[in-house]
Structure 1
Amino acid sequence: MVSQFGSLGYTIMGKTADLTVFWTTIIDTLHKEGKPQTSTAKEAGCSQSAVSKHVNRKLSGRKKCGRKKCTTNRENRSLMRIVKQNPFKNLSKLHKEWTEAGVKASRATTHRHVKEFGYSCRIPLVKPLLNHRQRQRCLTWAKEKKNWTVAQWSKVLFSDEIKFCISFGNQGPRVWRKGGEAHNPSCLKFSVKFPQSVMIWGAMSSAGVGPLCFLKTKVTAPVYQEILEHFMLPSADQLFEDADFIFQQDLAPAHTAKSTKTWLNDHGVGVLDWPANPPDLNAIENLWGIVKRKMRNKRPKNADDLKATVKETWASIPPQQCHKLITSMPC
């Protein structure tokens, strides 16, 4: 059956056009002719309220209705400037400074606008503080070592000192517990103000890890030379045997002392040139991170227990893990 609007190209029972378009076309045509809404609804095959809504929406020309914004674009730009000037301010300070400038907005509105700008509150990354000269040295060093192969990096004996504490701060596993078990001793993570700790010197290469040295005193030049004598040289013999190697150390005062340089020269140990505070360049730093992650589920009770745990975890590091770290060194 063809309607009276067949000349427009629409059919009631056919599929030549969408029914919604068909209805709206009929409603618009009959509304222009001045037909009442009841007859229009009967012709279109819909309810009178549908005809009324369509006509009123089209006449108003309004997409949405809602509350008027309480801040202007200029005031929003001033908030963005406040955020850019000091991104370390918390939300309360941002809201206070913005409202002190004469803007009438709630704390929730401030938060919403900051999020609309694309900002999210995150824990900042931590990087070494370097001056211009140190940054240039790091860049020069990286360019020089850019084309080093895995075979060249495999000749390096990486070393570093690190402190292990019984408490590892906020890191650690979560706990499954039922309601009312929050203070159950088996569900608690204990902390102390001055946790016991151990200072350790270690070395690693592509072939694996060397023996650990647990330090009992401050590392001075003579103490460091004792470490080199009793731990670095045995590590080199274990990991490189008779092959040549390059020793890596940072620029700590005990490492760069004249007596230490003389000791290294007398023992024929070649030292890898190293920039000050290089970010994430020492492969052993990643290995320390692996050891700490493996120790998350351990609960040493005292310093001796902590030493035993570190020793056990360090010994469990497979050579394949060290080789994987060294293969990641080339760019």
Structure 2
Amino acid sequence: MGKTSDLTAVQKTIIDTLHKEGKTQKVIAKEAGCSQSSVSKHINRQAKGRKKCGRKKCTSSRDNRTLQRIVTTNPFKNVGEIHKEWTAAGVSASRTTTRRLMKDMGFRCRIPCVKPLLNMKQRKKRLAWAKDKKDWTDAEWSKVMFSDESKFCISFGNQGPRVWRKSGEAQNPRCMRSSVKFPPSVMVWGAMSSAGVGPLCFLRSRVNAAVYQEVLEHFMLPAADQLYGDADFTFQQDLAPAHSAKTTSTWFKDHGIPVLDWPANSPDLNPIENLWGIVKRRMQYARPNNAEELKTTIRATWALITPEQCHRLIESMPRRITAVIEAKGAPTKY
């Protein structure tokens, strides 16, 4: 151990402590478990102060603050655009330096999360809704039947599996994924509660008020019987035009079913959105060839959803509400 760079952090601490106590280098070396020369070099190095080594930085702290301001102001610019704007401010640095400094500052290039656009009025209503529901218990949320529509396509974009291939096999049919210009798709309506999921409804046409009321009659009511029996429940739906139509409101009143008030553009508050995500992730390795095979796959995957999964999602409602309050009505991570 002739070099101070060979000393561990613990040894350096012991040397510094014993040196301050006035111990001799021989005693220090014995206690630290290193050579006396290592102790001497470390003490002398600490006394003189370590000389700076390496290449001199080409940018100042002010230049770095300018770079951070540029990235923060418009995080959607690419490295080339950021570098161009930075050098236009009088900084002399390469594009590689720009990228490296951005990385040192903690910036990483990622796919942005997509969230609904919320105006201030909608944010205030979300915040007010969250504050009104913040004291709801798990028992109260378990009485809510959550519902939603979701679109399923045969092509799942980039969510499919990656491929292991060798160099030159990019065009090998065995290593390729097929795509179609207009992939068949189906629109599905579903409902869930903490007790599990209800039957699915595949929508054949555009959902207007009349079509939606048929879905409620033939699928929502059976789902309520299945999930709640004779117990009372509250139905949740978003503010789609067919849902908020006057005739739909009349339908609920005629059937004596209370509807949960719901803020606009708030899929992050609806746990069934996460359930759709679970279904689609489980289907990402399936490759149905047509709409009928797609429906069969969706039914089979939906049937695998357990009541425990639904219960865990419903239990997240207090956390979702807290997140909305902390975000002052803005979109959350859910």
Which TM-score applies when normalising by structure 2? 0.80
Larger CA deviation: 213-222 vs 75-84: 75-84
Larger CA deviation: 88-97 vs 65-74: 65-74
How many pairs align?
Answer: 294
Deviations 1:127-163 (A, max 9, x none): 2211112111111211222121222111111110000
3-state DSSP class of the match of 1:69? coil
Which runs of no fewer than 5 residues in structure 1 stay unpaired?
A: 1-7, 26-53
Match of 1:19 among 27, 31, 36: 36
Judging changes above 3 Å, is the alpha-carbon distance between structure 1 residues 20 and 241 closer, same or farther for their aligned structure 2 residues?
same
1:281-292 equivalences in 2 (<5 Å)? 281-292=269-280
Deviations 1:241-267 (A, max 9, x none): 111111100000110011111111111
1:80 lines up with 2:68 in the alignment:
yes
Match of 1:324 among 312, 321, 324: 312
Structure 1 contact 10–16 (Cα < 8 Å) conserved: no
3-state DSSP class of the match of 1:284? helix
Cα distance between partner residues in 1 of 2:26 and 2:149: 84
| Larger fraction in helix | 2
Cα distance between partner residues in 2 of 1:200 and 1:136: 31
1:266-281 equivalences in 2 (<5 Å)? 266-281=254-269
1:36-185 equivalences in 2 (<5 Å)? 63-185=51-173
In the other structure, the counterpart of 1:296 is 284
Cα distance between partner residues in 2 of 1:196 and 1:292: 15
For residue 153 of structure 2, what is the amino acid of its counterpart? C
1:24 shift after superposition: 5.8
1:188 shift after superposition: 2.1
In the other structure, the counterpart of 1:46 is none
Judging changes above 3 Å, is the alpha-carbon distance between structure 1 residues 245 and 82 closer, same or farther for their aligned structure 2 residues?
same
1:282 shift after superposition: 0.9
Match of 1:201 among 180, 183, 189: 189
Deviations 1:210-266 (A, max 9, x none): 111111111111111111111111111111111111110000011001111111111
User: Which one has more relative contact order, counting CA pairs under 8 Å at least 6 apart?
Assistant: 2
Judging changes above 3 Å, is the alpha-carbon distance between structure 1 residues 145 and 175 closer, same or farther for their aligned structure 2 residues?
same
3-state DSSP class of the match of 2:276? helix
Structure 1 contact 247–269 (Cα < 8 Å) conserved: yes
1:23 shift after superposition: 6.0
1:72 shift after superposition: 3.2
In the other structure, the counterpart of 2:250 is 262
Judging changes above 3 Å, is the alpha-carbon distance between structure 1 residues 112 and 168 closer, same or farther for their aligned structure 2 residues?
same
Structure 2 contact 165–175 (Cα < 8 Å) conserved: yes
In the other structure, the counterpart of 1:253 is 241
Cα distance between partner residues in 1 of 2:229 and 2:26: 91
1:220 lines up with 2:208 in the alignment:
yes
Cα distance between partner residues in 2 of 1:159 and 1:21: 71
1:81 shift after superposition: 2.3
For residue 143 of structure 1, what is the amino acid of its counterpart? K
In the other structure, the counterpart of 1:29 is none
Identity within the alignment, %: 67
1:271 shift after superposition: 0.3
For residue 103 of structure 1, what is the amino acid of its counterpart? V
Deviations 1:107-138 (A, max 9, x none): 01111222233322222222221111211111
1:206 shift after superposition: 1.4
Match of 1:233 among 189, 210, 221: 221
Cα distance between partner residues in 2 of 1:246 and 1:61: 71
1:105 shift after superposition: 1.4
For residue 214 of structure 1, what is the amino acid of its counterpart? F
Match of 2:300 among 308, 312, 320: 312
Judging changes above 3 Å, is the alpha-carbon distance between structure 1 residues 187 and 138 closer, same or farther for their aligned structure 2 residues?
same
Larger CA deviation: 182-191 vs 123-132: 182-191
For residue 61 of structure 2, what is the amino acid of its counterpart? N
1:307 shift after superposition: 0.7
Structure 1 contact 205–239 (Cα < 8 Å) conserved: yes
Which runs of no fewer than 5 residues in structure 2 stay unpaired?
A: 1-22, 320-334
Which structure has the larger Rg?
Answer: 1
Cα distance between partner residues in 1 of 2:150 and 2:105: 41
Cα distance between partner residues in 1 of 2:142 and 2:120: 31
Structure 2 contact 26–36 (Cα < 8 Å) conserved: no
Cα distance between partner residues in 2 of 1:166 and 1:116: 41
Q: CA RMSD in A?
A: 2.8
In the other structure, the counterpart of 2:10 is none
Judging changes above 3 Å, is the alpha-carbon distance between structure 1 residues 203 and 68 closer, same or farther for their aligned structure 2 residues?
same
